[in-house]
Amino acid sequence: MPAKAEPEQTVSIASVEQSTGIARATLRIWERRYGFPQPGRDARGERTYPDDQVRKLRLVAALLARGHRPGRLVPLGTEQLEALAAPAGANGEGTARSPATDVPMLAALRRHDTAAVLGLLEQGIRQRGLAGFVTECMAPLNVDVGLAWSRGELEVFEEHLYSECAQHVLRAHLARVSEPPVRGPRVLLATFPDEAHGLGLLMAQALLVLEGCPCTSLGVRVPVQQIAAASRAFGADVVGLSFTASVNPAHVLRGLEQLRGALAPQVQVWAGGRSPVLARHRIAGVQPVPDVGDIPGHVAAWRAAQGRATAGVDAALSPALPSGG
């Protein structure tokens, strides 16, 4: 009697969303529009995905973060996606970043050495300070880890280990920051309901706090109307948002338009992260912040504008000087 075939390992749609950052609504749209992914169904009728499809989706998510469009990526095969993710192929200019196999952080993650991961993060802060670590070390580290994960060189849980360790270290150092003189703006931080990743938000908070900006973070997956309500409650001057590349572009644009309309005119909206739609589409009243290192410049510009506005009000209220005679 022939041996019974082992059932194929599958992953739930919730797990795929969590591990790739691609919203389940987006997965369903791609299924209808491109014929991929092609899920099965579990006993409850919920979508499930085999490992090979999850690997392809991870590659797609990594390439979306580099600015590629879903319409180009999703119809491609896994080998074609791997070629695009290769060092000389991601943007056609031979400048794509490829994680070195000997990167100490990747080695520590593959060993499941949590102490070493934390130690490497702490070492980076000691060497460059908190601001330098966020802009010079953490941003490229995030890319290295993301690319290694997309190529199957890291497991999903290893990528999550990195994210949790990084957030732990950043929060600990933020708690120890000596409060500089508060000079504004007052910033409210959040992500939209489709965005589950909070590391970029925490990186932005670190730089804002070091610049003397009072920050309130609502964390991830916050309804748009609740962000608007919180901006009024906390008297925010700026609402800061973070978007990864895997969030549905239509949801990003629609959410930003809704939020902009719900906020007071004087409240600025700063939209950061790697979502390509932020560079392709401009929304009136929304300031794109493509690089976390740009934050100090935007803070300085806000303060300069406030200074000019205050000077204008003072001049308008000053009584006319009596003429000499």
- Which residue, of 35, 56, 87, is where some domain finishes? 87
For residue 323, being part of any structural domain is answered with no
Dihedral sign for Cα atoms in the order 159, 162, 166, 172: positive
How do residues 91-109 score in pLDDT, each as one tens digit? 333 344 454 556 899 999 9
Amino acid letter at 74?
Answer: V
* Phi, psi angles (nearest 5°) of residue 40: -95, -165
Mean pLDDT of the chain: 85
Give the residue numbers spanning the domain of 217: 181-312
pLDDT for res 121: 97
Q: How far is the C-alpha of 137 from the C-alpha of 51, rounded, in Å?
A: 32
For residue 92, being part of any structural domain is answered with no
For residue 4, being part of any structural domain is answered with no
Average pLDDT over every residue of 151-172: 90
Number of domains in the chain: 3
Same domain, 186 and 162: no
pLDDT for res 1: 45
Q: What percent of the chain has pLDDT over 70?
A: 87
Q: How far is the C-alpha of 260 from the C-alpha of 283, rounded, in Å?
A: 9
Same domain, 186 and 304: yes
Same domain, 172 and 185: no
DSSP-based helix, strand, coil % in the chain, nearest 5: 55, 10, 35
Same domain, 166 and 189: no
Residue 296 confidence (pLDDT) above 70: yes
Q: What percent of the chain has pLDDT over 90?
A: 52
Buried b (16+ CB within 10 A) or exposed e, 218-257: bebebebeebbebbeebebbbbbbbbbbbbbbebbbebbe
Same domain, 54 and 145: no
| pTM of this prediction exceeds 0.85 | no
